Copies of this chain bind each other. A is one copy, B any other.
């Protein structure tokens, strides 16, 4: 996978260097749009075993791009010289399910039993949709995508369980059909939509009131189209309340050297 990303690796390394030395601590949306960005979850080995099974059983919301060995902090599978302790712009540290701090690095918190999970992110397929000429309203309006808890339960594993969380993008029917085609090519970053049309059928009562992110208008000639969302594992982590858990801060993702285009399955 590293070989596939060689053309972009200097760009990714440059951004990570700026992040590592504290020059960038904000959102990564729009940074290096050709490169894969990932959701980060770091857990002690015991909880990590359960979480790995949770991801395996729920591949649409939790598509795994990489899982480290316990204690390993260099993520060679995702790019050159990636140190997961320093290369995320901002972290969140959780103790027993409660947010404790939001540090810029986790060097002092590192332990030999911590396992890192990098989960695919919709930024990758959004770039493919934009490249195809499809307008994404939340991008045009500079908003976070609207996300909703659904009435669909994920498959539990150990203490990990909870609702499927979905992101929603309003599209005209012809764009929705094209979006199914495009995102089907990206199974490692949530793949095809899980639902489109009537939100009530998946337990969403009010589109104007998302559970996460910002609301966005759905016009009369549009359908709401719903994709499984990487916030799903965060909801499961709140349920499982592990002794300690480190995640990225919302929107401040890990930038890898992998190419979004190379994620396409055909």
Tell me the A residues contacting B by CB distance below 8 Å.
Answer: 173-174, 176-177, 180-181, 184, 192-198, 201, 221, 223, 266
Give bound CA distance, A173 to B204, whole Å: 15
Give bound CA distance, A184 to B178, whole Å: 10
Give bound CA distance, A201 to B198, whole Å: 17
- Ordered by A's residue number, 11 sampled pairs between the chains whose C-beta atoms are within 8 Å are A173-B196, A173-B201, A174-B194, A177-B193, A177-B194, A177-B196, A181-B181, A197-B197, A197-B223, A198-B221, A201-B221
Q: Which residues of B contact A193 (CB under 8 A)?
A: 177
Q: Which residues of B contact A173 (CB under 8 A)?
A: 195-198, 201
- Copies of this chain held together in the complex: 2
Q: Which residues of B contact A194 (CB under 8 A)?
A: 174, 177
Name the distance in Å between A219's Cβ and chain B's nearest Cβ.
Answer: 11
Q: Which residues of B contact A181 (CB under 8 A)?
A: 180-181, 184, 192
Q: Which residues of B contact A192 (CB under 8 A)?
A: 177, 180-181
Give bound CA distance, A194 to B223, whole Å: 14
- A223→B196 contact, CB < 8 A: yes
Most buried by B among A173, A184, A201: A173
Give bound CA distance, A186 to B192, whole Å: 18
Q: Which residues of B contact A195 (CB under 8 A)?
A: 173-174, 177
Q: Which residues of B contact A196 (CB under 8 A)?
A: 173, 176-177, 196-197, 223
Q: Which residues of B contact A198 (CB under 8 A)?
A: 173, 221
Q: Which residues of B contact A266 (CB under 8 A)?
A: 266
Most buried by B among A192, A194, A196: A196
Name the distance in Å between A234's Cβ and chain B's nearest Cβ.
Answer: 24
Name the distance in Å between A177's Cβ and chain B's nearest Cβ.
Answer: 6
Give bound CA distance, A177 to B266, whole Å: 18
Give bound CA distance, A166 to B184, whole Å: 24
Name the distance in Å between A212's Cβ and chain B's nearest Cβ.
Answer: 22
Q: Which residues of B contact A180 (CB under 8 A)?
A: 177, 180-181, 184, 192
Q: A174-B195, A196-B197 are in contact. List 8 more A-B contacts (CB 8 A).
A: A173-B196, A174-B194, A177-B180, A177-B193, A180-B180, A180-B192, A184-B184, A196-B196
Name the distance in Å between A263's Cβ and chain B's nearest Cβ.
Answer: 17
Query: Which single residue of chain B is at the shortest CB-CB distance from A179?
Result: B180
Query: Which single residue of chain B is at the shortest CB-CB distance from A184?
Result: B181
Q: Which residues of B contact A221 (CB under 8 A)?
A: 198, 201
Q: Ordered nearest first, which 6 A-B pairs have the shortest CB separation?
A: A180-B180, A173-B195, A197-B223, A173-B196, A173-B197, A181-B184
Give bound CA distance, A102 to B17, whole Å: 77
